[in-house]
Amino acid sequence: MPLDYSPEEVAVIRRAIAPSPPKPPEEVIDAMRPSPGMPVPEHMPPFWKLFDLEMPLFLRLTADPTVKALSRYAFFPEVFDRLRSGADLPELAFSGRARGMVVTLTFADRAIVIKPLQSAKEDQLALVAGQIGVGPVQLETLPGYLTEEFVSGTFFTELPEDRQTDNNLADIGFQVGKMLRQLHQADIYYNDVTFSDPRGRSHLLVALNGGCRLIDFGISLNLDQHPELTRDEVNNFVRTLPMYRVFRSMAEDESHVDRFLLEYAEKLGASSKSEITSRDLLFAQQGLKMAAKHMGERIIEPVKDGFMKGYAG
């Protein structure tokens, strides 16, 4: 049986790898080498916390062919349970669209994505977004990570010309407007690019059947406790402000940043929820203009018309 570890051993391993541990000390790295000067087995650094306290278990992991292939990802519930049930090893693909390493694991019947949390409440926001059909469905995971269904499709800015008919564009606009309306009704402020950023990157995936979903809720805000907002939430809000990026580069030390965030928290607390979420509409408008630079000006009107209808409900 693959991954032949007791429930107690699996629990120990999971505590060691999640949340993601810091980089191991140099002395531990040196001790993990098979011999002096040799590299550390590339699948083992995530398990370094076991080196001192659970050496027999660490050595079993080092030699385990499944762990050699998948490293820490073998012990995420969605992967572990499938492999223990006899599934073949998935294919792994790594990317970096979000902060931190994102891995897609493709099994014969489905694909899943595992990625580190970007903010303290991202898992809560992503869960709600998945439940209302706006984002990927969330799956059982480990602390510090999201595990979610893989959303297939083409990013909006990469749609081939034969799919850029007025009807298709209007329908895409309608769905984006509807998705933002649903998020706002759930007290979620998306706070990120929908159609396009200045470099032509999008968070909007369009499936072959025309269905749309948004990905990445790492800097979104949950407004259910408004006007009370955490420092992390205020920081997420201001990260999308051009003025903050300038301020951050000029700040003398972290105390200046703390003071700025405290003052901005008061400003957000004095704003209504609708004033905050209205920035999503501005982002959509700006993003559509940016997308037009890559796709042509003709996309603007049908997408805009559909968007307005979708958001109005």
Digit-coded pLDDT (tens) for 104-159: 999 999 999 999 999 999 999 999 999 999 999 999 999 999 999 999 999 999 99
Domain ranges of the chain: 1-75, 154-312
Q: Which of 26-35, 98-107, 164-173, 272-281 has the lowest mean pLDDT?
A: 98-107
The residue written with tokens 């209504």 in the block is 272
One-letter amino acid identity for 235?
N
**This model's pTM is above 0.85:** yes
Task: Count the helices and strands in the chain (H runs, E runs).
Answer: 13, 10
- Write out pLDDT tens, residues 48-60: 999 988 999 999 9
pLDDT in tens, 235-289: 999 988 877 777 777 777 788 888 889 999 999 999 999 999 999 999 999 999 9
List the single range of 92-96, 159-163, 177-181 with lowest mean pLDDT: 92-96
What pLDDT, on the 0 to 100 scale, is given for residue 199?
86
Q: Residue 183: which residues within 8 A CB-CB, separation 6 or more?
A: 129, 132, 134, 189, 190, 220, 277, 280
